[in-house]
Every structure is written in C-alpha cells, then in structure tokens.
Structure 1
Amino acid sequence: MFLVISTLVAYNYKNKRAGWRAASSGGGRTREPPRESESFTLQLFRGRLEPAQVFPYPDVLNEEQRDTLTQLVPPVERFFREVNDPARNDTDANISPETLSALWELGAFGLQVPTDLGGMGLSNTQYARLVEVVGAHDLGVGITLGAHQSIGFKGILLFGDEAQRAKYLPRVTGGEYAAFCLTEPSSGSDAGSIKTRAELAPDGKHYILNGSKIWISNGGIAEIMTVFAQTPIQKDGKTVDKVTAFIVERSFGGVSNGPPENKMGIKCSNTAEVYYEDVRVPLENVLGGVGNGFKVAMNILNNGRFGMAAALAGTQRSCIAQAAQHAATRRQFGKTLAEFGTIQEKLARMAVLQYVTETLAYVVSGNMDAGCRDYHLEAAVSKVFASEAAWTVCDEAIQVLGGMGFMKATGLERVLRDLRIFRIFEGTNEILRLFVALTGIQYAGSHLMELQRAFKNPTANLGLIFSEAGRRAARSVGLGAPAELRPLVADELRIEAQRLAQCVAAHGEAVEAALRRYGRAVVDQQFLLNRLASSAICAYTSAAVLSRASRAATRGLPSAAQELQLAAAWCNEAADRIDTDLRACREGSGGQGAQWTRLAALGQRVAAEGAQLTTNPLGI
C-alpha cells in the first residue's frame, strides 16, 4: 500500500518544492530529508500527537518580569478607565492629543524595544498582558498602538542590523509613529503581486522608490515606514523581480498621503493611502537583504499575530461583564434573565470562547518567549479563532442586553463595528485557513515521500520503515492505538484527552487520503482544505485548554473547577466538529463531494450573473 504514494504527495505549493536543493557536485539534484518539528499543528497533519509546545502550559515569566507586570497593569487600566474616552474617539474619528501624549509618557508605543534603545524591553508574554488591557477598553487605540509596534517597526526589531536598530528604535519610542506598508490597490492577500518598485540609482548609493499603498494604519501620521517594493535582482544569469523591504522616512521627500479613510469601525485609528514619488532611499535602509522582502513581511505578520488574540481576549472579557451584570439584574416574567436556560447557555458559550482565546494568546506568546521556532501555524490559528470568537461574544452580549444593547450608550455597537476588521486585516481568515491546511499538508507530504523512497532500499531504512510505516499499517488494520495524552492532563479531563488523541490520528488519516486522491491538485481543493483547517483549529485549541485547565487543577488555583468545566465544554463540542469535518473529507466524491460541486457551481453562477439567481416569487 505504501509504494503507491509516490508522486501523489509531491504537490507544489506556490513554487515551494520542500527539501529540494541542487547537488553539490555532478549537476544532479538531491532531496534533503524532511525536517522534524515540535509544532503541535504541523505534526497533527501527520496524525502525530506532539505535546512539547503545549504541555505543560507555558510558564515563562521570571520573578522580575512578574513584578514588572504587577507595576504596569494597574496604571494602564486606570488610564483607560479615567483618561481615555472611547466613545469620544469614535465620534471624533481621532484620538485626542492629550490621550496620545499620555500614551507616549506611559511608554505604550515601545513596549518591546530594548531598554537601552528607549523602550520597556518587555517579553511577548508581558506584551500580551498589556495588550489585553487595551483590547478590553478601546480597539481603535489598540490598532494605533499595534500598527506602530506590532508590525510598523517590528521588522527593525527582527531584521534590523545594529546601525538600523540604533538609529530608528530610539525614534519610534520617542514620539515618531511607524507604519507597515504592504497592501496595494491590486494586491491584498497576494502580497507577491505588489507593483511598487525600487530601482538602484546611478550613484549606487540609493534606491529610487515609486508606487502607492492603500489602507495603511498610521499611514497619515507615520514618519518611519517599513515599505515593500519590487526590486530587480540577478538570478541564474537573468534579471528577475523580487520583493525587498525598506526603511523609509517621510523626511526623505516624495512621501505623501491621502485623507483619512472613512471606516465602519476603529474610526479613531488613522488609515490612509500613502504615495511614493521618486523617494531616494539610502542603500543602508534595505531591511533584511535585497530580495528577502516576502520573508521579512511574513515573519513580521507571523510574529505579531498573538497580540491580536490577546487584545480580543480582553474585548471578550469586557463584553461578558456587561452581559453578565445585565442578566443578573434584569427581571422578566418574575425572574432574572440569568435564571433562564437560554441566557445561561449564551453566557456559558461566551465564557468558553473567551477562555479559549485567552489560552491561545498566552500559549503562543509563551512558546515564542521560550525560543520555539515553529509557532507560525499556531499564531495563525490564534488570529482566526480570536477574531471569530470575539465577534460572536460581542454579538451575543448585545442580544442578552436586548434593545439596550443596540443603543450607543452601552458601547457594544461600537465594539461590534470595531471588531469587524479583525477577520480581514493582517491576513484574511480565509487565507490563513488555507495557509494552515497547505503548510500542514506540505509537511505531511514530505514525510510520506521520504517513506516511499525508503521502500526502494528497505535494508538501509529499516528504522524509518518500522517507525512510520509500521505505525500506519497497524493503525489501518485496527491494531494500533492513538498516542497517549491522558498522563499529561488532570484526571477530570482524561476522557476529553483520549478523544482528542483519536481525533489527531483521524486527522492524519484524512490528510494521507487527500494526498492519495488528489496529489498535486490538492492545492485547488479549497472545500476540503477548509475542513482540514477547521479540524486543525479545533484540535489545537482543545490541546491548549486541556493544558491550561490541567495546570490550574495541579496547582489548586481558585479557578480550577471552572477551568476544568470550560475546557471540557470546549473539547467535547470541538471533537464533534472534527468528526464532522473529517467525515466530509473522507466522503470525497460521495454525498459531501456532490454538495461541494453543487455549491461551487452556484457560486460561479452568482458571480457570472452579478446578482441573486432568482426573481421575486410574485413575479412583479
């Protein structure tokens, strides 16, 4: 059965041939062995349960870092309660100068910049905690802060050389705003298709930058920008275009911007189109190397996504507080709302979603602080889950409050408008789902190909064959048992842990079946890829909450009983969703495949017609 894998798993995703490299001699090509990873989500696509980055729940703060947070959180919370006015910010579509000045004084614009360069030197986990406070009060202010440091100058932190860091980091912590300039009118999710260009000047000391960017947060106020442009480079004796990242100052000249955009939400954050006309960018302002811009951009985005989950965990906590207080005091039909089962279910599900979101924020930031390198899929999962959970929680909070929730006075309608952008920017949720599924499949496929090659010379590869193939063969005939997770969790969660382990094995089987069925064409099977991504999100979130709740139980935390219930509630329903998603993947050309074909045809027809496909039933 294993010999038929062959080229079916050798699909190519966006020119990425995993592991291929030119042979060092002889002009041939060899293939590097697939890399191993401690990423839970990557290994999930192989049907393997990898606990290293989830269990035990990360605990990365030392005593000094905890003391620092203890000192920082109260004044930041007090600032947002007593100084910042989110309703005024929304109405004015602007943050008051007094508020911005106070935020600069608090050090809020340089949280992760090293102290010797003017910042506060916070870790990712410390940053997450403060961002959670901001998200609980004003997402518009949060976007201004995040666009500045989570992505605006993050490239200088990650890729800047010593001179760049010394020159620019003190400035972005001392009053000058930063922006991340990638999106263009003709390129949104497809970042590689940008049109902005930078050509080397005749003096060889500057690049001449021309083009424009749209929907740039802080675009109208930023002095220092990370700008991405196509640059010509020599490759294999030919001139080709590759994206390069540049540090651009407004003071270079030729930089201008349009008026602030009129948006649905996050109105107080400045969003504008930015134009570059013959901007002379010094050679030393290339960031991360010529032609490495795509890598720089993706690493910036991947590195900052956990902050979105942290902020939205705070938003959800605030929404839940409003809904819970109203439900406990509002009386109807002789009872408080909280006594009705329908409201109890709403509040419970809101609490579960917030718990999962918050858990993701700190497991990802904890992994990053611990030096883990493979956290990109988990960060993407945290962004997707958090943005969708926050929308649901806020919407349900409005529902619990009823007519009062619809009124501006409660602030929930503003929060709902602010939340809508989070499913779109820094990678739409649709693109991130495909990123999770395709990256996972590519990883699984590379290992399956290695196994197929091993069978060509079994004597030399007995270890690989018996470890991988033996495991799969035993499982296929019902002799294998899923990986054991129960020893890692609290006794109260062992049933949920066992079911998760079964889901992990089933996910791997579904991926292998998809590769066998579609081969290279799996990249185009978006109905299937979306179900695999959904299954992966449910599996990873389940592992994360099992870990967090187990820690609470082990340490005897006051919240342990509630955490065990929250984790069990999520894991049970997540496992049901995994079963449904994987069953749909397995059916292939059966009933579910026919449904996907039907939906694809309907969608194409709606697009072709440019309207709904039917007329009013009255025919008038």
Structure 2
Amino acid sequence: MNGTNLVKCAKRCLSGRLLPLYSVQGSRGAAAAAERRGARQSDSFVLNLFRGRFETAQVFPYPEPLSDDQRQTLQELVPPVEKFFEEVNDPAKNDANAQIEEATLSGLWELGAFGLQVPGELGGLGLSNTQYARLVEVVGAHDLGVGITLGAHQSIGFKGILLFGTAEQKAHYLPRVTGGEYAAFCLTEPSSGSDAGSIKTRAVLSPDGDHFILNGSKIWISNGGIAEIMTVFAQTPIEKDGKTVDKVTAFIVERSFGGVSSGPPENKMGIKCSNTAEVYFEDVRVPTRCVLGGIGNGFKVAMNILNNGRFGMAAALAGTQRAALRQAAEHAATRTQFGKRLAEFGGVREKLADMAMLQYVTESLAYMVSGNMDAGCQDYHLEAAISKVFASDSAWKVVDEAIQILGGMGYMKATGLERVLRDLRIFRIFEGTNDILRLFVALTGIQFAGSHLQELQRAFKNPTAHLGLIFSEAGRRAAGAVGLARGPELAPLVAPALRPAAAELGRAALHFGRCVEGALLKYGRGIVDEQFVLNRLAAAAMDAYTAAVVVARASRAARLALPAAEHELRLAEAWAERALARAPALLAAARDAAPLRQHARLARLGADVAAAAGQPTRNPLGL
C-alpha cells in the first residue's frame, strides 16, 4: 500500500513558476522562463477541460485497440482464468486463513498470471494494457485479495523495471519475476504516507563508488514479507548548483543482498490473504547497477509507475461491480415479498439501475484509459486518476446496495458480499488516496490552464506578432459570452439519441473554463490552498469526463449494432444527464458567496473539533 505526494508536486509547480501572472510579487525571471517555454499543448480531454476546450482526440471514437491476434489471445486466455477462479481458488478460505492457498499460488504461476505484461522472450505473456485489463477484470470479479497480490507484484512491484529499466536490468530481473520470485513496491514510511517526498530512508554512495549503503524502513508494503525483488525509494545526496541536496532515487533491491528483513503480516480489515508487512533495510549494499531511472529521478519513477497502473484498479473493480450486480439481480428476480418479486418494486429497480450505471461507467473508464495507453497517448494521467477514484467510490456503493437488496442474507458471511465490502475499503486509500487524487486532478488542470492564460497575456504585449492567437481567443470568448460558442462537430461520432448530451458537454466545457479562469483571477497562487474550490472543480471535471466516455462507448455500441446497444444508450443517456446536471451546482459552489461562507463555517467547526480532540459539546443531559 503506497501513497504519493502528487499534491505537493502540483503545488510547487503552481506557486513556484507557472502562475506568476496572478501573483502581486511574481518573479520576472520565472515569467521570462515561462515566456520562453510557451504553453504546453495536449490531447488530454481533462486537461483541456480546464481551458474551456472540448478536446475529442482521446475520447471520440471509443478506442478499438485490439488487433485480430490480440483478440484471439484473449479468447484463449479468459476461459481458463475464469475456470481457475471458479474451481480452484477459494476466496472465503483465503480470507479466513489470511493467506492464499498454496494450490492457488502454484496455479497462478503456471497460468502466467504474475507476468502478464512482460515480453514473451523474457518469460511473460507480453499482453497489451487492454488485454491486461480484461484479465484483471476477471480477477476482480472473484477475489480482490488475490488481485492485490498479483497487482502489487506486476502493476507496481516490478513495473519500474518495465518502464525505466536498462536492457541489462530487464534481462536480469524480468525472467525471475515471471519465474517464481515475488516483487514489491517500497515507498510508504511511518512519517510519509501521501507525502512521499518526506521519506527518511537513505542511500549513500560507498567511498569506492561501487555500491550504495541503504538504511531505513517501509510500512504497509504489499508482498513485503514475501518479495525477493523490490523497487525501493530512498533519499540520496546529489550536487546541485554547488550545494549538496537530497533527492529521491529508485533502486532495485534484492533480499539476497543481505540486511533486508520484514515484520509479521499485518492484521487488516480486508484483503486479508494478501501479504502486507513492514520492510527494514540495514546497511544493505546495493550495487550501482541497480539504480533505476537515474540518480535523483525517483519521484518521476514512482509517479510514472503509479500513473501507469491505475487503470488496472478500475478494470478490477469493474469486475467486482459486475459480480455484485449479478448477485443482486438474481436475488431480486427470485425473492418474493408481499406477493411480488423484489424486481417488481420501483425502489429495487432504481437501485439496480444505479448499480448498472456505476458499473458501466467504471468499465468504460478502464478500457478508455487502457485503449489510449495502447494507442501511444502520453497525457493520460488525469484520466487514469479519475478512473481510480470513480471506480473505488462506485464499487463501494454498488456492493453496499447489493447487500441492501439481499437484506439479512447479504449480511451473512456465506453470501460473500461482506468480505468483498471489507476488501473494497482499501481501494479509496492506497496508491494515492482519493482525496489526494482529486486535488491532483484540479491542481494539474489549473496549472495547464494557467500556462495558456500566461501565453495570452504575453501575446498582448506584442499584438502584431500574435494576431492569430489574440483573435482566435477573443472570438472564442465573445461567442461564449453571448451563447453562440460551438464545440467540435460530433454528429458522425455520436449516436443520434446521444447528440443532445454531446452538445451539453460542449457547453459545460466552456462554462468550466470560465470558472477556472475566474478562480485563478480571484485566488492567484493562493488557489493551491483552496481545497473547497479545488474539490468542486475536480468533481465537475470527473462528471464531464465520465459523461463523455459513456457517450463515446454507447455510440460505438449503436454503430456496431451490438446486442445490448439499446441498453447501453439508455445507460449513457441516464448517466450523462445526471452527471452534467450536477456540474452547474458544483461550479457555482466554487464561485458563489453562500457556498463559500458555508465552507468557511465548516472549516471553523473542523478546527474546533480537532482542537478539542473530539466533539466539544456535552450530551444534552450534561452527565
């Protein structure tokens, strides 16, 4: 389990150099540097949303990333994996024993489940991100504890070697992590959860320059007690501008190096069968050849590993939701009360519809992000973060409602849903808490918008040289102000039934951009501390992106005349209407006086509770 300091990173960028425009004391050097750089361009839907632009490149049409060969490979892989989880793996026994049965682990190694994306020549199956998502979805439908063991091993444990390893590192380690040796990702420490930059573990180069001496400890490490090969992050001294400073570096560390030990397995609320333990490093001699991604580049390595793997959580939780929905629907179709089947009651139908919508959105996000990654897109980090946040929030709601539909039966262990609910709780916490990721989405989007606003201001300093930029931006703003702004032409890409939703998306994007610009003008650099505003902007961005994704997916279903196309269109229409209806209220809350007063009131109440170490009031009896 690992957190990140994504917010601190975004804050540094915003307050340090990318928003001098809105600071009374903005540095001329920073402004000059920004002018030389110019505004970064991107095809990211979410990044452009913060500019008020409706960018379709990574959303419409919905991705079709599988070649015929890749599809054939999946057709051969999925049935045996499903059969394995239905006939061999016992999730209840894994949970009760707090460890995965040996037969299950042996079978997973034989299936190649621990090396899904490792190239075939190095011992793996060489799957694409989309293929990986489909198999992870199967695992998520059956046993999330086993899923964490698999994911901690390959989604983050040795993912850094895949992404940043040298040819020699890949050749040495990848056959081992596909051949029976477990991997782990060691970032979190007692004093640094979400703030990964504050880690205390240190690695100092030996006098002969041959190796680093590593000392420190990590906590809550998935696979920490069983991993032989670990990606470990430590502070290393480097020379910068004539001074020695500490910067994080990533290392490949083997338990066999000596000095590596681990504590007993943690006793957890859920995912009990996955191994979670503290890991200790005492004078570990790490060869210099085991530096991963370069000295001082550890933060970049960590963020890329986590960003690259988040879609896998969405895929797994799409499977979890699909399984819970099936269980609830089967019960509602057969259980009779008051002379009717539960499925005949309007309240139960509404619950099932909500569950189906959340599952559909989660699944659509997972395959949208994985498809974009397979297509070579570089800017998918905000979309991946949204997929993780939405999936983990939605899975909790879907499984909770499944228990509610089953009633007392759902509360019993034998049904299995109480175990799933316990397993789910960690997904909103680890690999970047949902609270942190929402702020990351907002701050990164604002950073992107701010750079473009700076570019526009610079253009006005020399208008004759930048007439094209000035007139295009002025025209866009004028059209928006009088309600004449038009988004991209989506008619060929969107099913007729969803064209009103697509048009509303375009209008929402324009409104969103104006709100972001207003927030920048109002708060300047101080926006980094306005979490009430940032959270509302993030929520509105998530609603807009999820609406766009389901409109794209359902339009694909209609175009291909898929068997459930009409159902998909209804799901997409219902979700888009709900999500886009929330956006104006969210944006108003980030701007208008009354919601901001309420936020100030709540902030004071929260401070009072913290100061009193609990509720300051006594009970009404005074006893």
Q: TM-score, normalised to structure 2's length? A: 0.95
Cα RMSD between the aligned structures?
1.7
Deviations 1:481-536 (A, max 9, x none): 44444442100111111111111111111100000100110011000000000000
Amino acid at match of 1:499: E
Where do residues 61-460 of structure 1 align in structure 2 (5 Å cutoff)? Answer: 61-460=66-465
What letter matches 2:108 in structure 1?
A: L
Counterpart AA for 1:119:
G
Give the corresponding residue for 2:54: 49
Match of 1:480 in 2: 485
Distance verdict in 2 for CA 1:371–1:334, change over 3 Å: same
Distance 1:11 1:392 in 2: 31
Shift in Å, 1:199: 0.2
Instruction: Identify if the C-alpha distance between structure 1 residues 453 and 14 changes in structure 2 by more than 3 Å, giving closer, same or farther.
Output: closer
- How far apart are 1:145 and its partner, in Å? 0.1
Partner secondary structure for residue 31 of structure 1 = helix
Write the distance in 2 (CA, Å) between the matches of 1:174 and 1:102. Answer: 13
Q: 1:33·1:450 contact (CA, 8 Å) conserved in 2?
A: yes
Tell me, yes or no, if the aligned pair for 2:35 and 2:455 is still in contact at 8 Å: no
Partner of 1:6: none
Q: Give the deviation of 1:294 after TM superposition.
A: 0.1
In the TM superposition, residue 17 of structure 1 has moved relative to its aligned partner by 2.8
Give the CA deviation at 1:302: 0.1
Q: Which position in structure 2 is the counterpart of 1:3?
A: none
Change (3 A) 1:119 1:18: farther
Structure 2 Cα separation of the partners of residues 99 and 512 of structure 1: 54
What is the SS of the residue equivalent to 1:17?
helix
Distance 1:23 1:292, change over 3 A: farther
**What letter matches 1:593 in structure 2?**
L
Q: Is the 1:13–1:438 Cα contact (8 Å) retained in structure 2?
A: no
Q: Deviations over 1:248-289 (max 9, x none)?
A: 000000000000000000000000000000000000000000
Gap change, CA 1:486 and 1:524, over 3 Å in 2 = farther
Q: Which runs of 5+ in 2 are unaligned?
A: 1-9, 21-26
Corresponding residue number in structure 2 for 1:606: 609
Specify whether residues 502 and 607 from structure 1 end up closer, same or farther in structure 2 by C-alpha distance, changes over 3 A only: same
> What amino acid sits opposite 1:447 in the alignment?
H
Q: CA deviation at 1:34?
A: 1.1
In the alignment, the residues of structure 1 paired with residue 183 and residue 12 of structure 2 have an alpha-carbon distance, to the nearest angstrom, of: 37
Identity among equivalent positions (%) equals 73
CA deviations 1:567-591 (Å, max 9, x no partner) are 011000001111110111221xx11
Matched residue SS, 2:591: helix
Q: CA deviation at 1:477?
A: 3.9
Deviations 1:375-402 (A, max 9, x none): 0000000000000000000000000000
* AA matched with 2:611: A
Aligned pair partner of 2:501 in 481, 486, 496: 496
Matching residue's letter, 1:550: S
Matched ranges for 1:527-606 at <5 A:
527-587=532-592, 590-606=593-609
Q: Is the 8 A contact 2:14 2:447 kept in 1?
A: no
Secondary structure, aligned partner of 1:488: coil
- CA 1:247–1:15: 2 relative to 1, 3 Å: farther
The structure 1 segments of at least 4 consecutive aligned residues displaced by more than 6 Å after TM superposition are none
Structure 1 distance, partners of 2:254, 2:321, is 37
Output the CA distance in 2 between the equivalents of 1:321 and 1:197.
Answer: 49
Compared CA separation, residues 315 and 16, structure 1 to 2 (3 A):
farther
Q: Distance in 1 between matches of 2:351 and 2:614?
A: 35
Quote the Cα distance in structure 2 between the aligned partners of 1:343 and 1:384. Answer: 26
Structure 2 equivalent of residue 17 of structure 1: 17
- Determine if contact 2:310/2:388 at 8 Å carries over to the other structure: yes
Give the Cα separation in 1 of the matches to 2:219 and 2:323: 32
Partners of 2:125 and 2:523 lie apart in 1 by: 51
User: Normalised by the size of structure 1, how large is the TM-score?
Assistant: 0.96
User: For the residues of structure 2 that align with 1:32 and 1:140, how far apart are their CA atoms?
Assistant: 46
Cα distance between partner residues in 2 of 1:294 and 1:142 = 26
Q: How far apart in 2 are the matches of 1:121 and 1:442?
A: 36
Return the alpha-carbon distance in structure 2 between the equivalents of residues 215 and 281 of structure 1. Answer: 22
Q: Give the partner amino acid of 2:13.
A: Y
Q: What amino acid maps onto 1:283 in structure 2?
A: T
May I ask how many residue pairs the two structures share in their alignment?
Answer: 606
1:615 equivalent in structure 2: 618
Residue 199 of structure 1 aligns to a residue whose secondary structure is strand
- Residue 609 of structure 1 and its aligned partner are, at CA, apart by 0.6
361 and 494 in structure 1: CA distance in 2 versus 1, 3 angstrom threshold: same
Preserved CA contact (<8 Å) 1:484 1:498: no
